[in-house]
Structure 1
Amino acid sequence: MRFQLKNVTRQFGQHIAVDNVSLEIPAGQMVGVIGRSGAGKSTLLRMINRLVDPSTGSIHFGGAEVSSLRGKGLRNWQRDCAMIFQQFNLVPRLDVLTNVMLGRLNHRSTMMSLLSIFSDDERLAAISALERLGIEQTAMQRAGTLSGGQQQRVAIARALMQAPKMLLADEPIASLDPLNAKIVMDALRDINEREGITVITNLHTLDTARSYCERIIGMASGRVVFDGPPSELNADAVQEIYGSDKDGAGIDETMTSTSINIPGAEASGEKQSGGIGTLASASA
């Protein structure tokens, strides 16, 4: 099921945050959206999820016009298009397991949701999601007691509970250290590859976008100025996306690097993009 943006613009007063963007994304792609702060990346994702409405243009998924949905149709879309936020958006006073099960709210009756009554199957599914992310041992802890990396993995587990058709991640690693950033990105790629779910993620770091995304979209001043595979993201393309410094030189990509070195990996020939479980254990 293809996803399309057709001439989408979002204006806040006199400021144009997203400017006449048209995109077509086939099912199952992992897409990275890059650009400077204020380029329109977050507004773009929020329009896709309908947290923000487009000022003009339309959004389509599988033949339905997402941008015109209201009421139950809109709630169903926000269930099918799960959103992961930079600040996690968990309920700190609730335990981790309950936070994950909240991902089922749009699949349940209003009364069951109000009473917070979850079935045994939902509890088992939540525990399975936590096990997949390597943090099942935190299930009964209050979410507010976890580290940032652990909280982001809880947020991903909650998104999985929605059984989404598309997964959006808005700067999911911006506040994480390199090891936890790798764990989170490995998890998103694993979801994309195993479930075939379309993943669109905003990223600040070029090395991450190149390593994990099969397609990169570069934004500048609300417009798409680059759209292609990582191999085509050359110095000229990077300069068009990020501009130049005050001396006219292009940006130093090492300033945006999140790469990590695993001791002994180079000597043993081990790839640094190891499995989720191994790295999750290292950061627990």
Structure 2
Amino acid sequence: MRLKLQDLTRQFGKKTAVDAVSVDIPSGQMVGVIGRSGAGKSTLLRMINRLADPTAGSIHFGDVEVSGLRGSALRHWRRDCAMIFQQFNLVPRLDVMTNVLLGRLDHRSTLSSLLNLFTREERLMAIAALERLGIEQTALQAAGTLSGGQQQRVAIARALMQRPKMLLADEPIASLDPLNAKIVMDSLRDINRNEGITVLTNLHTLDTARSYCERIIGMSQGRVVFDGTPDELTSDAIHSIYGVEHASQFDETMTSTAISTSGATEMSADPHPAGNLSLAPA
């Protein structure tokens, strides 16, 4: 199913954070949204997930008008449109397994959720999701004891438990070192390719967007100023997105997520990088 945004706008008082954005994203694409801080990237994703309501415009996913959903229909949309945050949003004192199982809450009755009555099938799903991300050995650890890279992978495993049709990732690697950033982005690309799930992710770094995304949307001052493939991200496009006169003025390496051979060993603080990313059937 296609995601279609039509003239999507969000205002905060007199400030327009997202300004008449119209994009059409086919099912199964991996799309990177880039731009300066304050360009409207996070607000755009929050509107798609309906954590923020549009001031104007519409959001459609297939035949469903997402921008008009209320009540249980809205809760079902948030289940189908899983979101991963920069700050992980885990419960630090709970163990990893329980944090992952929380992704099933919208599939369960209120009573069973309150009593923590997760089924054997759901627990097997959780273990399979952790194995997929290469962190099954952390299942019984408190989430707050994990490294940042491990916590982000727990958040991805929790999102997978929702069995989503779309995955939104809001700056998922902004607080991670290059090695863990690569592990997380590899995981998102694997989910996109092997599950056919549409992935829409906000990114600060051009090299990451070029390496992982088949389509790049550039935003500036709330508007879409570029929409194309990595090869089409020319000097003129960089100027329109970041406001620099020449590409040479914009040093991509300053915030690059690329890993040098010499640096990989030093940064390997996470002793359990993701391995085989194929998901065992639940």
Normalised by the shorter chain, which TM-score bucket? over 0.9
Using the alignment, how far apart are the partners of 2:125 and 2:260 within structure 1? 34
| Code of the aligned partner of 1:32 | G
Alignment partner, residue 193 of structure 1: 193
| Code of the aligned partner of 2:257 | T
SS, match of residue 277 in structure 1: coil
In the TM superposition, what are the counterparts of 1:95-244 in structure 2 within 5 Å? Answer: 95-244=95-244
Alignment partner, residue 21 of structure 2: 21
Alignment partner, residue 275 of structure 2: 277
- CA offsets 1:114-147 (integer angstroms, 9 cap, x no match): 1111000000100010000000000000000000
| Code of the aligned partner of 1:25 | I
Cα deviation, residue 249, structure 1: 6.8
- CA offsets 1:143-198 (integer angstroms, 9 cap, x no match): 00000000000000000000000000000000000000000000000000000000
Using the alignment, how far apart are the partners of 1:248 and 1:101 within structure 2? 45
SS, match of residue 36 in structure 2: coil
- Structure 2: segments with no counterpart, 5+ residues: 265-272, 278-282
Contact in 2 for aligned 1:207/1:256 (Cα 8 Å): no
- Percentage of pairs with the same residue: 76
Using the alignment, how far apart are the partners of 1:218 and 1:276 within structure 2? 30
TM-score, L = length of structure 1: 0.92
| Distance verdict in 2 for CA 1:101–1:248, change over 3 Å | closer
**Which runs of 4 or more aligned residues in structure 1 lie more than 6 Å from their structure 2 counterparts after TM superposition?**
none
SS, match of residue 54 in structure 1: coil
| Distance verdict in 2 for CA 1:115–1:27, change over 3 Å | same
Cα deviation, residue 263, structure 1: 5.5
Cα deviation, residue 250, structure 1: 3.1
In the TM superposition, what are the counterparts of 1:76-91 in structure 2 within 5 Å? Answer: 76-91=76-91
Using the alignment, how far apart are the partners of 2:113 and 2:71 within structure 1? 17
Using the alignment, how far apart are the partners of 2:247 and 2:162 within structure 1? 47
| Code of the aligned partner of 2:77 | W
Contact in 1 for aligned 2:58/2:65 (Cα 8 Å): yes
SS, match of residue 58 in structure 2: strand
Are residue 32 (structure 1) and residue 32 (structure 2) matched?
yes
Cα deviation, residue 10, structure 1: 0.1
Q: Tell me the number of residue pairs that the alignment of Structure 1 and Structure 2 aligns.
A: 269
Using the alignment, how far apart are the partners of 2:260 and 2:276 within structure 1? 14
CA RMSD of aligned residues (A): 1.9
Alignment partner, residue 268 of structure 2: none
Alignment partner, residue 254 of structure 2: 255
| Code of the aligned partner of 2:10 | R
| Code of the aligned partner of 1:132 | R
Cα deviation, residue 248, structure 1: 11
- CA offsets 1:95-129 (integer angstroms, 9 cap, x no match): 00000000000001111111111000000100010
| Code of the aligned partner of 1:262 | T
Cα deviation, residue 234, structure 1: 1.1
Cα deviation, residue 278, structure 1: 7.5
